[in-house]
Amino acid sequence: MKKKLIAKILIFSLLLNTALPVFSEDTTPKPYEDDELPQTLKDIRRFEIITIGALPFVTLDATLAYSTYRYAKNDFAEEYKPDIFSSSSFSKDEQKGIILTSLGICVGIGLTDLIVQIVRRNSKKKKQQVNYDDIAVVPISEDEDAQVIPMPSDFRNDDSDDVVEIEE
């Protein structure tokens, strides 16, 4: 009797959970507007994603590098042969060192990306400040404020000598 009741409750719950979304409103999230979040929060989020996303790859590389270093340091002894898939090949202090080194490298990668993004954004803003569409080339004959500047050849008098001799 209890089993039938539990089965009926489960079937009812399953039907209820599958049928209710039909009557709900559209729950598709809207994308953020450009001015909805401050740029600082966007930069912090990108830093977080890159730092945490790099962690597994950097940890693997740090483990391989440390294993190879330890193997070479111990004159290539068989018991120190690199085996990253062995769980007991490192002491607790070595594991802490690998993890802390990986975290430091990941934070460095995240900070480097953050600095590059800030520099790119600032250089793009500087480039946008110069608007070449506002520059208009007007011929000198049509410009009311233009003045003709005489060239040095216009000052030269063909009758006079430009060479002056100095007596000592």
pLDDT in the model for residue 45: 94
Range in 8-22, 77-91, 152-166 the model is least confident about: 152-166
pLDDT tens digits, one per residue of 58-93: 999 999 999 889 889 988 888 888 876 766 678 899
Q: Mean pLDDT over all residues of the chain?
A: 83
What range defines the domain where residue 72 resides?
Answer: 43-122
Do the domain assignments include residue 63?
yes
**Residue 164 belongs to some domain of the structure:** no
User: Does residue 109 belong to any structural domain of this protein?
Assistant: yes
Structural domain includes residue 145? no
Q: Does the pLDDT of residue 148 top 80, yes or no?
A: no
Dihedral angle computed from the Cα positions of residues 7, 9, 11 and 16, in that order, rounded to the nearest 10 degrees: -170
- Please give the pLDDT value at position 12: 87
pLDDT 10s digits, 23-51: 777 778 888 788 888 989 999 999 999 99
SS3 71: helix
CA distance 67 to 150: 79
What is the Cα–Cα distance from 63 to 126, expressed in whole angstroms? 43
| 21, part of any domain | no
- Does residue 101 sit within a domain? yes
Quote the tokens at residue 26: 């559209």
Domain-located, residue 68: yes
Kindly report, residue by residue over 108-121, the tens digit of the pLDDT: 999 999 999 999 99
Is 9 within the bounds of a domain? no
Number of domains in the chain: 1
